[in-house]
Structure 1
Amino acid sequence: MSKVYGIITNKIIKLLEEGVAPWRKPWNSIGLAVNWVTQKPYRGINTMLLKPGEYATKKQIKNAGGKIKEKKRKKDI
């Protein structure tokens, strides 16, 4: 669990050094990270960890008939 805390802490520090307050919600929800299947925006710490776009699980991609290309990077959510 401490590895997760370290990753999150480093991400927050990096954003603060870039002048971004990651806990502030934008005026609108356009541009948030969303689940590819449900189109629901991610909440909590995931709003700080994810860039805008669509994210899916391996299972969601498989159920849709897709495959994940080799050497594609995963993102922990």
Structure 2
Amino acid sequence: MVHLFHLAINPFELGMEALKEIQTRFYKDFPSHPKEQIYGFATPSTMKPTQWSYPGGGINQIPCDCTLSGDVRLTPFYK
């Protein structure tokens, strides 16, 4: 019997890399807007992960999947 566990893709690592790319594009598309300062916005538009979930398992098991959930807060100066 051949075990291919060493070929598994860790969904946490894949999720982090994907999220990094998505956030990079988000912040490029929605940079700090000049009107934010005029209207007293404390922070610009943000995109942040808020929850990670996975099916569980042992500490030495790579889970088969994971779900990332998050929050986008877009200032009203963008359509």
Give TM-score scaled by structure 1 length: 0.30
Give TM-score scaled by structure 2 length: 0.29
